[in-house]
Amino acid sequence: MPRRRKAGNDNNRRALLHAVAHIELNAIDLAFDIIARFGNIMPRSFTDDWISVGDDEARHFALVNNRLKACESFYGDLPAHDGLWQSSKETAKNLPARLAVVPMVLEARGLDVTPAMIKQFEGSGDQISAEILQTIYADEIDHVRIGTKWFNFLADKVKKDPELWFHDLVRQYFRGHLKPPFNTAARTRAGMPTGYYQPLAVKKHKV
Ligand SMILES: [Fe+2]
Ligand SMILES: [Fe+2]
């Protein structure tokens, strides 16, 4: 006999999947938004890169939404915040700010928190959702890499130090500090050394 799960666990699982679906849906829009707004002022490979990101995000959304349906839910079943969309509106006219905030802060934050979510699904016996998140996690490293690559390209063009410029833009366009612990291994694989994010971290107060 299958073990009966507590309803609370199932609800938590659905809420977590719903939050991920919401992020992926926004990410599809953001990938194509960056092309529409800035593709004409950038090299052709910029557009190619973000089309591949948008393609990944659409696959991620479908994976998570299908999983939600298998768990007797669907995208739209729960309320969702609009923080991601707010950040994109605020950076709509500024490509370096958009790259700094969306892939290099928000998607990089995804790399920090996803391994714990994978463990949470595994712990609740939901191996299918854990594997979906594992797929997303691997692809997101590449998205952070693409964002960082183009940010560095712009920094080089205007002869700015990329790390210092990143600090300035994040302080200006992103509300709040970056939250440790950071997934340094994944961020390094994405081409983002600690010098970008460590100086922007929340300072922990000693008790
Ligand atoms: Fe994604
Ligand atoms: Fe992404």
Ligand lying closest to the C-alpha of residue 143: 2
What is the DSSP secondary-structure string of 121-141? Answer: HHHTT-HHHHHHHHHHHHHHH
Say whether 161 sits in a helix, a strand or coil. Answer: coil
**205 in a domain, yes or no?**
no
**206 in a domain, yes or no?**
no
Ligand lying closest to the C-alpha of residue 20: 1
The amino acid sitting at 92 is: A
Ligand lying closest to the C-alpha of residue 60: 1
CA 27 to the chain's CA centroid: 8
Ligand lying closest to the C-alpha of residue 59: 1
Find the domain containing 143 and state its range: 8-200
**So what's the pLDDT on residue 82?**
79
Say whether 192 sits in a helix, a strand or coil. Answer: coil
**So what's the pLDDT on residue 3?**
52
**207 in a domain, yes or no?**
no
Alpha carbon of 22 to ligand 1 centroid (Å)? 10
CA 11 to the chain's CA centroid: 23
**So what's the pLDDT on residue 188?**
98
**1 in a domain, yes or no?**
no
pLDDT, averaged per 10 consecutive residues of the chain (207 residues), comes to 54 92 96 97 98 98 97 90 85 97 96 96 94 98 98 98 98 91 98 97 65
Measure the CA–CA gap between 140 and 112, rounded to whole angstroms: 11
The amino acid sitting at 45 is: S
**51 in a domain, yes or no?**
yes
**So what's the pLDDT on residue 4?**
47
- Which tokens hold the place of 70? 């298998």
Longest alpha-carbon distance in the chain: 65
Place of tokens 């949470």: 120
Say whether 162 sits in a helix, a strand or coil. Answer: helix
**3 in a domain, yes or no?**
no
Measure the CA–CA gap between 19 and 16, rounded to whole angstroms: 5
Q: Does residue 186 contact residue 136 with C-beta atoms inside 8 Å?
A: no
pTM: 0.92
- Residue 90's alpha-carbon distances to 83, 98, 136, 175, in angstroms, are 11, 8, 26, 11
Measure the CA–CA gap between 194 and 131, rounded to whole angstroms: 28
Q: Which residues have a beta carbon within 5 Å of ligand 2, which is an ion?
A: 27, 107, 140, 143
Q: What is the domain count for the chain?
A: 1
Domain of 194: which CATH number?
A: 1.20.1260
**So what's the pLDDT on residue 1?**
44
Alpha carbon of 140 to ligand 1 centroid (Å)? 6
**2 in a domain, yes or no?**
no
